[in-house]
Amino acid sequence: MIELKNMSVNLGIFSAVRGVDLVIKPGDRIGVVGESGCGKSMLALSIMGMVPDALSTVGSLIVDGQELIDAPESTWTAHRARTMSMIFQEPMAALNPLRRIGDIVAEPLLVHDGLGKSAARARVIDLFTEVGIPQPELRLRQYPHELSGGQRQRVLIALALACNPRLLIADEPTTALDANVALRITDLLVELAQERNMALLFISHDLGAVSRATRDILVMYGGDIVERGTTQQVLQEPAHPYTQGLIAARPQISQTATRRKRLPTIAGSVPALINLPKGCRFSGRCPRELAKCASTRPRAVTTDQGSTVMCHLFEGGTAQ
Amino acid sequence: MGYFLFRRTVGLFLTLFAVSIVVFASMNVLPGDPAITILGIESTEDARAVLREQLGLDEPVLGQYFAWIFNALQGDFGVSYSYGVPVSELIGERIPMTLSLAFSGMALTTTLALFLGISAASYHKKPGDWGVMLLSQLGIAIPAFWLSMLLVLLFAVKLRWLPPGGFPGWDEPLSAMRSLILPTVALALVQSAVLARVTRSSALEVIRLDFVRTARASGFSKSRVLWRHVLPNALIPIVTIVGLQFAALVSGTIVIENVFYLPGLGRLIFQSISNRDLFTVQALVMMFAIIVVLANFLVDIAYVLIDPRLKGRSN
């Protein structure tokens, strides 16, 4: 359905996303994890054709057999909402504050599907019911500022689903919500993806949410996919030193409450785009760095457990 | 909403009351004898006394004020000294002219400004944006009266497409509209240059907000996103400026009506001041003040109609 081949998002000579290969099929549930600034959101925006003007997308991005990498805005407009749709991090700011939520969700139905007003209204009520908004008839007339964060995120999901997209990209959908609500939104996304046989690209730095929501996972660092595999495999037996660091840095209730041990962190922070190392982008922060890491970009190799890792430690076949 | 409207309406009347005191005071309490102003310093004291009595100026000031207000509320602004007819008649004849000019000027201003401002914002940092900004800078720099003369020279004198001035009245709608074109353009170009800049910067503020990204992700065309999502959210500062501009536009008619020989309130106030026609000037200044206060009242109401979030706060 959607295929990315050696796709990069460049800012001048620098890459925010570097040579990504990715195939998304109906029903896939793919998680994308990594620190802020690792290229997760840029990857998502490139699949929507919404990369900021200053950046350019190169390589190949094929949707239903059609190459879209240099496609004009009008081609993308025709695909958005119908082929792929996206929800964003801040449900507070992502809804037009001047419109009633019923009108917000009805708009794509009126514009894209050519529904009449009453048909659109009935469809909006169905969508609200589907995403778990109670008393949909009453809610239609409310404004975004009259809803809670969780309800707003449900409205955004209803909006994204209105024209039955085949891929839903959720960019940190739960980050701005409290833990309990976040859990329910995560489960809702999984249910919706399963019921509709819709692909889900779930971007998050919350590993718990990703492990709950997805079957496959991409670990991104500095624009590279440094490790990929099934979610279970990668999270249980992380191969790449970055993935290991990411998992070790997860706060756990038992740990903090009983032993008050310092949370392990990955040393340093993600370098700015212009300062990324030439070779492995994790070099400089990596605890198991080799001499060639800073200068030579590692190849992606498949481990015995079936994950694919981009790391010099694995180029002999297994971890050294 | 009901309470909000009530509060604003009470405020409106209090403002108008204050305005009437200021207008009356500036005409009557300020030093200088109106009788001398009207008759000239070489007039005899007897003639002045007769005039004062005629005009009611020998009464106590407070009494004069209330008499003025009381009569004005009934539509009686006294008799014009220089025209010899009731002031209300003078104003009534000229109101349609000035209001047509003000409203057509406002309509052209907003249409031009919204179109240019939104286009500039959508071509931010590209040639289209620079072009609009350059034009609006030019528009702001050109005085309206000079622009009027240029327009007359080009379109009336050289090309002979439009009349150079005068107004035939609305009995002949077609030629009335033709003679309104140049004054309207002269009024609107300068105002729309200012408003286009406000529209552009307000739209640029909104364009980077998250819900605009949501609208794009929903597959809406660029123009739909701009006009249906960005513009409504950019309206608050635009409406504020439109309210202020309406006041500027109404006073702008004084200059424009004189340049184009249009028989409106602007020309009347200019002539009445030259003729020292006290009651007419007083009534006209009050008239302009009422128009300005009303425009601001409407702007306040527009805020709440535009943004539902203000509704809760205003109550």
What is the DSSP code string of B203-257? HHHHHTSHHHHHHHHTT--HHHIIIIIIHHHHHHHHHHHHHHHHHHHHHHHHHHH
Q: What is residue A137's predicted lDDT score, i.e. its pLDDT?
A: 92
Looking at the structure, tell me whether residues B24 and B119 fall in a common domain.
no
* Last residue in a domain, options B25, B43, B73: B73
> How confident is the model at residue A313, as a pLDDT?
87
Residues A213-241 have a mean pLDDT of 91
Same domain, B232 and B282: yes
Residue A26 lies in a domain: yes
Residue A45 within any structural domain of the chain:
yes
Tell me which chain A residues have a C-beta less than 8 angstroms from the C-beta of B207: none
* pLDDT reported for residue A201: 96
Confidence of residue A127 (pLDDT cuts 50, 70, 90): very high
- Residues of chain A found within 8 Å of residue B217, distances taken between Cβ atoms: 48, 50, 80-81, 85-86, 88, 160
In a domain, A175, yes or no: yes
Q: Between residues A199 and A205, which one has the greater pLDDT?
A: A199
Interface ipTM? 0.86
- In this prediction, residue A253 has a pLDDT band, given cuts at 50, 70 and 90, of low
In a domain, A44, yes or no: yes
Residues of chain B positioned with their CB less than 8 A from the CB of A74: 221
Find the domain containing B53 and state its range: 2-73
Q: CB-based contact (8 Å) between A52 and chain B?
A: no
Q: In sequence order, which residues have a C-beta less than 8 Å from that of residue A31 and are 6 or more positions away? A: A202, A203, A204, A210, A211, A213, A214, A216, A217, A218, A231
In chain A, what residues touch B311 (CB-CB under 8 Å)? none
Residue A206 falls inside a structural domain: yes
Query: Is A48's pLDDT higher than 70?
Result: yes
- The enclosing domain of A172 has a CATH number of 3.40.50.300
The whole-angstrom separation of Cα B216 and Cα B226 is 10
Contact call for A50 and B216, based on CB within 8 A: yes
Query: B123 to chain A: nearest residue by CA?
Result: A53
Residue A95 to chain B, least CA–CA distance (Å): 5
> In this complex, do A97 and B224 lie within 8 Å of one another by their Cβ atoms?
no
B214 touches chain A (CB under 8 A): yes
Distance, in angstroms, between A254 CA and closest chain B CA? 37
- Tell me if A27 sits within 8 A of A198, measured CB to CB: yes
Total tally of structural domains belonging to chain A: 1
> What pLDDT sits at residue B209?
92
pLDDT under 70: residue ranges of chain B: 1, 29-32, 312-315
SS3 assignment, position A281: coil
pLDDT of A303 > 80? The answer is yes
**A73 Cβ under 8 Å from any chain B Cβ:** yes
> Min CA distance, B230 vs chain A (Å)?
9
B285 and B180 in a common domain: yes
Residue B219 contacts A where some CB pair is shorter than 8 Å: yes
pLDDT at position A255, please? Answer: 52
For residue B171, give the CATH number of its domain. Answer: 1.10.3720.10
Does some domain include residue B86?
no
Q: Mean pLDDT across the stretch A276-297?
A: 84
Q: Which of B214, B217, B224 sits opposite A95 (nearest CB)?
A: B214
Look at residue A291 and tell me if it is in a domain.
Answer: no
In a domain, A178, yes or no: yes
Q: For residue A264, what pLDDT is reported? A: 78
Q: Is residue B124 in a domain?
A: yes
**Shortest Cα distance, chain B CAs vs residue A108, angstroms:** 7
In sequence order, the β-bridge partners of residue A163 are: none
What average pLDDT does the structure give for chain A? Answer: 88
Show residues of chain A in contact with B229, CB under 8 Å. 96
Residue of A nearest to B236 (CA): A98
Query: How many structural domains are present in chain B?
Result: 2
Query: Best residue in B126, B129, B214, B227 to probe A by mutation, most A CBs within 10 Å?
Result: B214
What pLDDT is stored for residue B314 in this prediction?
Answer: 46
| Whether residue B130 sits in one domain with residue B46 | no
Instruction: Tell me what percent of the residues of chain A surpass a pLDDT of 90.
Output: 54
**Residues A201, A48: contact at Cβ < 8 Å?**
no
Test the B interface: residue of A41, A96, A103 with most B CBs within 10 Å: A96
Among candidate residues A246, A252, A280, the one with its CA nearest the CA of residue A34: A246
Cα separation, A230 vs A233, whole angstroms: 5
Domain co-membership, B101 together with B67: no
- Regarding whether B128 and B45 lie in a shared domain, the answer is no
Task: State the pLDDT at residue A268.
Answer: 78
Lowest mean pLDDT among A26-40, A112-126, A151-165, B19-33: B19-33
CB-defined contacts A:B, below 8 A? 72
Residue A310 has pLDDT above 50, yes or no: yes
Domain encompassing residue A17: 2-83+165-233
Residue A176 has pLDDT above 50, yes or no: yes
Predicted local distance difference test score (pLDDT) of residue A283:
83
